[in-house]
Amino acid sequence: MTRMVHVKAELAQVRAAMPGTVAVVMTMGALHDGHAALLRAAREQADHIIATIFVNPLQFGPSEDFDRYPRSPDTDLAICAMAGAEVVFAPSGSQMYPNGEPRVQVSPGPSGERFEGASRPGFFHGVLTVVLKLLQLTRPELAFFGEKDYQQLTLVRRMAQDLDLPVRVLGVPTVREPDGLALSSRNRYLSPAERREALRLSAALRAGADAAERGADPVGTLAAARAAFTAGEPKATLDYLELTDPDLGPPPRSGPARLLVAAWVGDTRLIDNAPLTLRG
């Protein structure tokens, strides 16, 4: 049976009784099949799974959607139970930040000030701070994060390496709808027309990957992706469309790379990314 705990002291007791390998899957709730894939991946490699559900106020700007961010605790618990999580840690804000916003926060470094960090100043300070706190509280050997939030995954890995955290950070491929739309808790904000418009993000990624496969250089790959996004009369507004190496550095002339995109669809901001290989 899956156990829901809300306070740190109870979590510590439960964690102390877990022998073997422990994995954590961190979420903000509003779970979907993408989160279930993370939990299933954890189940394959760990003896015990702790899921966390916490809508972290540190990573929301003043004009962002913290208050309306979807919350579905009963459904979330059911998904965690079906996927094999033994414990769900769902703390309150006062449990996580008993003294209010922490004065000491984790700096993401230069890579955290680009892309999402540029569009959402302070975002990754909040993300890495809560991730570090949850790693300290759950003390896992393994932590699973979705590749859909690729910049987040990369920065969490770097934090674990740079700060000598005793955890292995593993990525799980993005889960998509049959038409290519990446699963996201924010998809439920979209009207039917906006959902169709949201397909521009995955279309841009496919076009870029196809161009790279045909031998396009980084400039040509980006041009193909941008053309796919802007085809017709787009109602979505592009925030960024960038090509990087797998560690978020400059794109290579050849070899593995990552194409990242963010756009506004109506009042909803969506992100997506895809791996590709530049043929040189």
Residues serving a catalytic function are 35
Polymer length in residues for the chain: 280
Tokens 């309306």 map to which residue? 68
Q: Please report the sign of the dihedral spanned by the C-alpha atoms of residue 73, residue 77, residue 83, residue 88.
A: positive
Please answer whether residues 259 and 273 qualify as being in contact, where contact means their C-beta atoms are separated by less than 8 angstroms.
yes
Give the Cα separation of 121 and 118 in Å (integer). Answer: 6
Three state DSSP letters for the chain: CCEEECCHHHHHHHHHCCCCCEEEEEECCCCCHHHHHHHHHHHHHCCEEEEEECCCHHHCCCCCCCCCCCCCHHHHHHHHHHHCCCEEECCCHHHHCCCCCCCCCCCCCHHHHCCHHHHCCCHHHHHHHHHHHHHHHHCCCEEEEEHHHHHHHHHHHHHHHHCCCCCEEEEECCCECCCCCECCHHHHHCCHHHHHHHHHHHHHHHHHHHHHHCCCCHHHHHHHHHHHHHCCCCCCEEEEEEEECCCCCCCCCCEEEEEEEEEEECCEEEEEEEEEEECC
Query: Among residues 187, 241, 191, 172, which one has the least CA distance to residue 26?
Result: 172
